[in-house]
Each structure stands twice: as C-alpha cells, then as structure tokens.
Amino acid sequence: MSHAPPMPDDQQQLAWIAFSRLEQRHSMADEHPTIVAKLGYRDANHFLSATEKCLEATEIEIVSLLLNLEIAPTMSAREICAAYYLKRRNIFSVTVRTHSSHYQMIRNYIPETSPVHCYSVYLECRRSNYQGHAGQTAELLAVFREDVPVLESGVLSIWRDTLFDFVQAEADFMVGDFKSAYEKLMRVTSTASGLNFCCTDRSQFTLARLLRESGQPELARQIWQDSEVRNRLARTCDWTTLAVN
C-alpha cells in the first residue's frame, strides 16, 4: 500500500544540524541532551536504546519501529532513527543493493524535505566506491542531485554539498585522478572544519592517504600523527576511518 510522505516537525533543522556535527549516537546523547529531549526522548538512555534498535533492525522490523512512538516519539526522531538504520553499525557492512532496498523500505515514512534522503545518497555512493564502482559515482551523483530535496537550511545545504563533494573526491582518488581528488578534499576540509561538520576529520585522513599514494608520505604522516584528529575520530567511534589509515 502506498503512503503519502508525512510532514516534518519544528525540530527537524535543529536535529539535523546536531547530526551533521556529531553523527555518532553516543556523542549526540552526551553533548546535546537538550536536543535529545526535544526529539521526545526521556533521557540519553531512552535515545540510545531506541536508535540501537534501528541500527540493528531488519527490513521486516524497521517500519514498525519507526512508527512506534516509544522508539520515535516525534517526526524528527523518526528521521534520525532512519538515518541510523541506513548507516548501520559499520557503513561498509551492507552492499549497495541492500542499502537501496533499505532506503526504499523507509522513504515514504519520512518527510520529503528530510536530509535523510541526501544522507542516503552519501551512504550509497560511499558503499559503491568501496565495492569497486568508483568510476560510476559522478553519474550516480548527477542523477541523485535531481531527485533529492532542496534543503531550506543554509547550513544543511552546505553539509549536503560537502558530503557529495567528499564521496566524489573519494571516487576520484580510487580511480587515480589525484589532482581532482586533492582539490575536492581541500575544499571539503576547509568548509567542513569551518562549520564543525563531523566529516572534517574523515576528509583529512582521506587526504593523508592521497598524499601517501602520490609520493608525499611525510605530509601524510603529519596528518596521521595529529593526536587531536585521532582522538576525535575515536570519540565519535569512526573506527572505519581509523582502520583504513
């Protein structure tokens, strides 16, 4: 049965700006208890328990979880829970096909204006890159840019473009276009750090890998040895980025 997408609530922008800067569930709970409360959760444990269930949910389970007011007490909470469902515990633990199936399962239960649609594009492109299809990323992004909603928030529009630039830079690096990858990563790092986006450190470490592969290991080592960057990645549980570096 077809469902008309629901309308967003007043907390959408606030919730997603927090997500863009932290992304990891425990960081959200620890650093933004007020936002967690505005999403309708009783406390941090309630938020973590609810998002944990979505993080591990199967396709059969996810819709009933998103419609359960104990799991997603507000529409913005539903959007954030959907984001964790799509992300999974390890971003590369599912295939592109599985991700697409997951997204199709939840898309009609999420507001059309939700940033989760853009975040899904980012996740799908990253998974595509790592599954050997980096050469198709530019084409995928061109199609997706036509489909994803225009975000009214200036900060979230910049975040969306930064995520898209990052996955294209990652793809360029993987296919050997180091010049294009370097230019995009420098732009991403500059923009992301200026707005305190969570992808800042991820882009810096990807830049370090590019520098190493292009014959500049000393510059790469300077980034890798930055204890503050490594600590931030550990604090946000970005183990995938740490593992590949």
pLDDT tens string 67-110: 999 999 999 999 999 999 999 988 999 999 999 999 999 999 99
Determine the 3-state secondary structure of 67 from DSSP: coil
Distance (Å, whole) CA 107 – CA 95: 18
pLDDT on residue 231: 61
Q: In which residue ranges of the chain is pLDDT below 70?
A: 1-3, 226-245
pLDDT on residue 51: 98
Dihedral sign, Cα of residue 111, residue 112, residue 113, residue 114 = positive
Instruction: Tell me the pTM.
Output: 0.90
Length of the chain: 245
pLDDT on residue 107: 95
pLDDT on residue 242: 46
Question: Which amino acid is present at 237?
Answer: C
Report whether 94 contacts 140 (CB < 8 A): no
Cα angle vertex 105, ends 100, 108, to 5°? 115
Report whether 117 contacts 149 (CB < 8 A): yes
Report whether 20 contacts 116 (CB < 8 A): no
* Burial (Cβ within 10 Å: 0-12, 13-18, ≥19) of residue 206: buried
